[in-house]
Amino acid sequence: MVRCEGLVHIYKAERLEVVALQGLDLEVAPGEMVAIAGRSGSGKTTLMNILAGMERPTAGVVRVADHDLNRLGQSERERYRRETVGYVLQHAMGNVAPYLTAVENVQAATLTGPPRYRARMAAQLLDQLGLGQRLSRRPSDLAGHENQRLALAIALANRPRLLLADEPTAELDTAAAGQVLTDLTAVLREQGAAAVMVTHDPQLETYVDRVVMIRDGRTSSERRWVERQGELVNDELAIMDRAGRIQLPRAYVERLGLTGRVRLHLDDDRISILRAEGDVSD
Ligand SMILES: Nc1ncnc2c1ncn2[C@@H]1O[C@H](COP(=O)(O)OP(=O)(O)O)[C@@H](O)[C@H]1O
Ligand SMILES: [Mg+2]
């Protein structure tokens, strides 16, 4: 569904260049739900904007559902944004029209079918997302978690193959976030859509298939729950790119005081990284 290879994104502002992504790789299978985690400024929103077709990468490959996002012309790009992906922005109210009711908001986002059909589909989707009793309310009369649900419904109105959501539970308390995620994952499963969701919320991680950590504009490691000898364990793997680069966990690096050069040692089945003590430099 998603394939990013060596994605690079550079923002040019005035005389300053900010490298937001530096060689990011990511793959997402159809129907898979992936969370993206990482510190503020690590490039998460930039990645989402690229996947949403709103931003063109400076370099690298990005393919979503058979579309090469570098090759889309203007009209294809607009169609891609309307039909293939649904995007809930980091500040979800950006998705919602304040002067329309909940059901009108979703209906307006639905592209196909006669108006009566669209109204029914909109109501059904809102019902699945727990807003069945709020169809005629305007956003200003909805609670925070309800507006978040509405933004999700708008993004899902065209049954996109990929849902993108940037911190969909950031402004919700734990209980409300859990309920939103339960309803959202049910809709995603029913629609068979894949999802990439940015999060700082450890709770969200328990709803997805895997969590990809981004560090300094690159995927650094990945966590998932796996069953091992009958027990469920949270397994974390570092990600190595095609050139053999990996990012060591910061805590490991600090613990051993590694800087600059390190010594690699290959044994039969493992590679060790050692401090290059006592070396004559140069
Ligand atoms: N429009 C922009 N112009 C210039 N720099 C930007 C812009 N958007 C983001 N950046 C910079 O790119 C880096 C990654 O930002 P972002 O993708 O928003 O990270 P995150 O979502 O992980 O917090 C940051 O250093 C940020 O300051
Ligand atoms: Mg962000």
Structural domains in the chain plus CATH codes: 2-238 (3.40.50.300), 248-282 (no CATH)
d(CA 144, CA 96): 12
Atom 25 of ligand 1, residue of closest alpha carbon: 41
Residue nearest atom 4 in ligand 1 by C-alpha distance: 11
Instruction: List the residue whose alpha carbon is closest to atom 5 of ligand 1.
Output: 11
In this predicted structure, the answer to whether residue 118 has a pLDDT above a threshold of 60 is yes
Q: How confident is the model at residue 112 (pLDDT cuts 50, 70, 90)?
A: confident
The model's confidence at residue 250, banded by pLDDT at 50, 70 and 90, is confident
Cα of 27 vs centre of ligand 2, distance in Å, is 20
CA within 13 Å, CB half, 161: 14
Which atom number of ligand 1 is nearest to the Cα of residue 46?
17
Residue 216, pLDDT score:
92
At 202, the pLDDT band (50, 70, 90 cuts) reads confident
Q: Name the H helices within the chain.
A: 44-51, 74-79, 102-109, 115-128, 144-156, 174-191, 202-205, 250-256
Among candidate residues 53, 45, 56, 52, the one with its CA nearest the CA of residue 10 = 56
Question: What tokens were used for 108?
Answer: 């307006």
For residues 61 and 176, give the distance between their C-alpha atoms in angstroms, rounded to a whole number.
Answer: 37
Token representation of residue 218: 């690159």
Is the predicted pLDDT of residue 122 greater than 70, yes or no? yes
pLDDT at position 281: 53
* Centre of ligand 2 from the C-alpha of residue 54, in Å: 15
Residues with CB under 6 A from ligand 1: 11, 13, 18, 20, 38, 40-46
Cβ atoms of 62 and 4 closer than 8 Å: yes
25 CA from centroid of ligand 1 (Å): 18
Q: Which atom of ligand 1 is nearest to the CA of 40?
A: 23
Evaluate whether 208 touches 33 at the Cβ level (below 8 Å). yes
Whole-number Å distance, alpha carbon 46 to ligand 1 midpoint, is 6
Ion ligand 2, residue ranges at CB < 5 A? 44-45
Return the pLDDT at 116. 84
- Which strands make up the sheet holding 16-28, listed edge to edge? 16-28, 2-13, 59-64, 67-68
The reported pLDDT for the residue numbered 232 is 85
What's the CA-to-centroid distance between 91 and ligand 2, angstroms? 10
Burial 134-162 (b: 16+ CB within 10 A, else e): bbebbbeebeebbbbbbbbbbbbbbbbbb
- Phi (first) and psi of residue 235, to 5 degrees: -100, 130
Tell whether the model's pLDDT for residue 279 goes beyond 60. Answer: no
pLDDT for residue 282 is more than 80: no
Structure tokens at 161: 């193959």
Q: Which two tokens stand for residue 3?
A: 């394939």
CA distances from 176 to 149, 166, 172 (A): 10, 17, 6
What's the pLDDT score for residue 278? 67
Q: What count of residues does the chain have? A: 282
